[in-house]
Amino acid sequence: VGFNKLALIVKKNNPKNIKGLDDLFKRDDLAIVLCNPELSSCGMATKELLKNRFLFLYFKSSTIVFDSKDLGFCVKRCADVGISWRATAISEINKDKLDYIDINSPKKKLYLSIIKYTNNYKLAKDFLEFVASKKGKEIMKKYRFSYEE
């Protein structure tokens, strides 16, 4: 249905003046939050991006959270920076409180599916069909889940 990319997620207007990924390794004044790579797609993608440096950053982090929603909450409240999907910062609930800093990360495809344990199969199917429609694709593009670079 589209794509997303990892980015550094910071408080609005970037009060710690974080320039890029290297700041997370070089600076000692940052409270860092990461998503758990065992439980979250953003955590897995972060681990893949950082390769050998991931373990260092994992132990340097102040907090490890379950997913990108929790990461956004932490950056708004207590952390200075996190690595998450760019969409975390531009979502309706975060766009007034968070910004993102692009990092050199590959685009990741977004997949939607219906799990067999869903409580409302028809609603889930209708949603998938809507996202695949012209209007759905326009909405995905508006929120930067599908974009050209």
Which pLDDT belongs to residue 11?
A: 95
| 143 burial via Cβ count (<10 Å: 0-12, 13-18, 19+) | middle
| Rg of the chain on CA atoms, in Å | 16
Distances, alpha carbon 103 to alpha carbons 25, 37, 55, 138, 139, in Å: 14, 19, 19, 25, 24
**Strand positions, DSSP E, 41-110:** 63-65, 81-85, 98-102, 108-110
Low-confidence ranges of the chain (pLDDT < 50): 147-149
Identify the bridge partners of residue 38 per DSSP, sorted by sequence position.
Answer: none
Give the span between the Cα atoms of 141 and 48, in whole angstroms.
25
How far the first Cα of the chain sits from its last, in Å, is 17
| CA–CA dist 41, 111 (Å, integer) | 11
Q: What is the model's pTM?
A: 0.79
Distance from C-alpha of 41 to C-alpha of 27, rounded to nearest angstrom = 26
Q: What is the pLDDT of residue 1?
A: 66
Question: What's the chain's average pLDDT?
Answer: 86
